[in-house]
Amino acid sequence: GNSVTQMEGPVTLSEEAFLTINCTYTATGYPSLFWYVQYPGEGLQLLLKATKADDKGSNKGFEATYRKETTSFHLEKGSVQVSDSAVYFCALAGGSQGNLIFGKGTKLSVKP
């Protein structure tokens, strides 16, 4: 079935460092792909999305490109801030029950 695998955390970076969180997927067809972010004590919120191959989603300095040849959707940011500390979830639309399938989440901590 469809699935999402993302890198285990936690990831600890210094402010202004470069961020990459890896996400790969297994799916039939070409489902839409998403990155969601969960700040402490809050629910998830959409960070960015891509609906077809080669699409690049971007928001708040974060970017991810839908790569069908490598079945990947890696999240990147050139310069992280302390306020980016959160848990990041990769997801695809295409669960067998008509749901979004989420990765396990990657906790990011950014130190000043």
Partner 1 sequence: KAGVTQTPRYLIKTRGQQVTLSCSPISGHRSVSWYQQTPGQGLQFLFEYFSETQRNKGNFPGRFSGRQFSNSRSEMNVSTLELGDSALYLCASSPSGRAPPGELFFGEGSRLTVL
What does the binding site for partner 1 look like in residue numbers (CB under 8 A)? 31-32, 34, 36, 41-46, 49, 89, 93-95, 97-105
CA distance 13 to 5: 21
Closer CB to partner 1, residue 40 or residue 112?
Answer: 40
| Beta carbon of residue 76, minimum distance to partner 1 (angstroms, whole number) | 21
Q: How far is the CB of 112 from partner 1 (least distance, A)?
A: 27
Nearer to partner 1, 13 or 93 (CB): 93
CA distance 112 to 110: 7
Query: Which tokens hold the place of 68?
Result: 């069908």
Nearest residue (CB) to partner 1, 32 versus 71: 32
User: Please, what's the b/e burial string for 8-25 (b: 16 or more CB within 10 A of its CB; e: otherwise)?
Assistant: eeebebeeeeebebbbbb
**How many other C-beta atoms lie within 10 A of the C-beta of residue 107?**
14
Shortest separation between residue 50's beta carbon and partner 1, angstroms: 11
Token look-up 């039939």 returns: 28
What single DSSP character describes residue 84?
Answer: G
Least separation in angstroms between residue 15's CB and partner 1 is 27
Residue number, 34 or 62, with CB nearest to partner 1:
34
